[in-house]
Amino acid sequence: MTTTAIVRTACAKVILCGEHAVVYGRPAIALPLAHLRTRAAVTPGGRAFHISAPDIHAEFDMTSDATRPLAVLARLTFELLGQPPIPGTLTVASDIPPSSHLGSSASVAVACARAIAAFCGHELQPQDAGNLAYEAEKIYHGSPSGIDNTVIAWEKPVWFVKGQPAEGGNSPIALLDVQTPILVIGDTGVATPTRVTVGDVRRGWEAEPGRYEQLFDQIGATVIAARDALQVDDWHALGAHMNANHALLQQLGVSCHELDHLCEAAQQAGALGAKMSGGGRGGNMIALADDEQQAEQLRVALRNAGAARVM
């Protein structure tokens, strides 16, 4: 165990294609956003393991508030290491807005698990960090797919199918040899927790399983087509598949006026494709640009259309 503060970080993420259907076994593609990060620091001292998250005005001890997501995460991390809880303070700060569908909760969980492990003298493998974060994600979101904690823990583009191991092990299938597309992200400024839309889709699926399974199949087909376009750098085809994915998500009822408005503004400004990204009914949309000059045009168009911020 170290006697000085230990800091570890984790990135944000964006879903390129496949959200919601991925919960039901269809594939999805996610990309890491390295420039947006969560920082978790563990400082030794005190009589218990204390957790401080000033961004969300949370202060609690691991044992006194044992059911909170970060308390569960801390307990499971110590258990994985075969280590009893060590007195100290875990402090969390993040650049990622909560409920923006950029993976805020998964990023917090991965950073915290990494910091606790490092405090105990260990470095977590990506698979372990992702598995620990998934346990916290289940408390945050109810029935998450696992894609957020996976792409954030590995910090690589991933092809993800829930419950399906990759060749050679349990890691996600990483898209190691693809060129990352130029994406402009527009934030609606509307914060809607992922659990709300995930829960609504679940209720819709339970009421109309045939209709929803057909939509999930169509989304899965667009994801496969998007992967094929991504692997050969066919940005025009990728954009068309993104547009198709957004239209299907509209049919699922998880888009909203603000997201649709920003997508339309991006398309009118020349985007190759535009779609909501993440849980929906707020949060962010993504627009695909052909080059940096077009990306700047999209940034301007999204700001003029009322985006709360553009990345």
Q: Hey, what amino acid is at 292?
A: E
**Sign of dihedral through CA atoms 69, 16, 306, 244?**
negative
Supply 285's token pair. 């949309």
Q: How far apart are CA 51 and CA 43, in angstroms?
A: 10
Taking the mean position of all CA atoms in its chain, how far away is CA 241? 20
Strands 49-53, 58-61: pairing kind: antiparallel
What DSSP string describes 60-125? EETTTTTTSHHHHHHHHHHHHHT----SEEEEEEESSPTTSSS-HHHHHHHHHHHHHHHHTT----
3-state helix, strand, coil in the chain (%, to 5): 45, 20, 35
Torsion of CA 33, 186, 228, 103, to 10 degrees: 40
Contacts with 281 (C-beta within 8 Å, 6 or more apart), sequence order: 190, 192, 196, 197, 254, 255, 256, 259
The answer to whether 228 is a known catalytic residue is: no
Q: Which of 148, 187, 234, 291 is catalytic?
A: 148
CA 288 to chain centre: 18
Q: What are phi and psi of 40, to 5 degrees?
A: -125, 130
Q: Nearest Cα to 62, choosing from 44, 48, 46, 42?
A: 48
Is the CB of residue 17 less than 8 Å from the CB of residue 228? no
Structure tokens at 181: 């597309």
Give the active site residues.
148
